[in-house]
Homo-oligomer: A and B are copies of this chain.
């Protein structure tokens, strides 16, 4: 049995409500009483029971986040680590805690959301990987439940924070053009994948602005698929001398294929990836990459959620784009305009 305010009250010879007041920092408690109580609190190493306090205050001091894990692909996703770190980093000073759930299907996801909200286990949620006509939004809005979307929620009027993927695509492309590359191509992801499409838009914009014809190859995710795609690209009549590649892992696939063909990086092929992940180290001299500043994104989203939970901010359409930045390494060091 844990120690309660009642126990403290007895030992300090005051009423339990006085103990509660001292803990709350109530200014109108007599100094001597306060000291007595605080000494006992210290001595007994008292911590307030979170559940009881929450029951009374009608709040859990917890926020939730629901990950989606397609089927059984447990392959360590580095994003989760960043998500958890950044969220707790913001939540902790505000005395909030993080409850993480994992859904393996859409049906389960829906149930988890419902349970999370209606059982009052959390005071707010961060919604990941929004889908086009996302059933979660209606439910959350109807319940007036505080939430923030990370990603692109589409047309619905909800609070969201996102990368600027268009800018990211343009940034990578301009960088290669400025390095003097003559035929900058892009290896993108599968069709209809939102962030891929956005980066393509940025790429195309930048190419058009430079008066160059864009050239995009679609590829499945992963380094292996990207290697195959790169092979197709190098097989063409006028193969690219630079590639913007959808992410770092895929860029490594392209590098590996280039090496197989005896192409030198960056002399024969310059590359820029996305995410600025640890993978960039795997290329000798480093892989240039667009840092999406996911950390900032998560922190922003969490801060906004906090504001909403505190009732200082209404739950309404809001769209913040976190700027990205280019980390130049050897893979794109072609040295000035050709």
Contacts and interface: CB of A to CB of B under 8 A. Distances in A.
Interface stretch (A112-120, A157-165, A197-205, A322-330): A112-120
Contacts of A295: 74
Interface string A99-131: 111101000000000110011110000000000
Contacts of A47: 114-115, 118-120
A101 B102 contact: no
Contact of A2 (B100, B102, B118): B118
A100 B84 contact: yes
A294 to B, nearest CB: 9
A135 interface: no
A107 to B, nearest CB: 13
A78 B298 CA distance: 17
B85 A278 contact: no
B89 A81 contact: no
Contacts of A98: 99-101
B278 A75 contact: yes
Q: Sort chain A's interface into a size bin.
A: 35 or more
B80 A84 contact: yes
B74 A224 contact: no
A269 to B, nearest CB: 16
Given A118-B45, A282-B252, A102 B84 contact: yes
Given A77-B78, A78-B78, A252-B282, A97 B69 contact: no
Interface string A12-55: 00000000000000000000000000000000011111111011
Contacts of A49: 55, 119-120
A76 interface: yes
A185 interface: no
A281 interface: yes
22 contacts: A2-B120, A45-B114, A46-B118, A50-B60, A51-B54, A62-B99, A76-B79, A76-B80, A76-B82, A76-B277, A78-B81, A80-B80, A84-B84, A88-B102, A89-B104, A92-B102, A98-B100, A99-B99, A100-B100, A252-B282, A253-B282, A256-B284
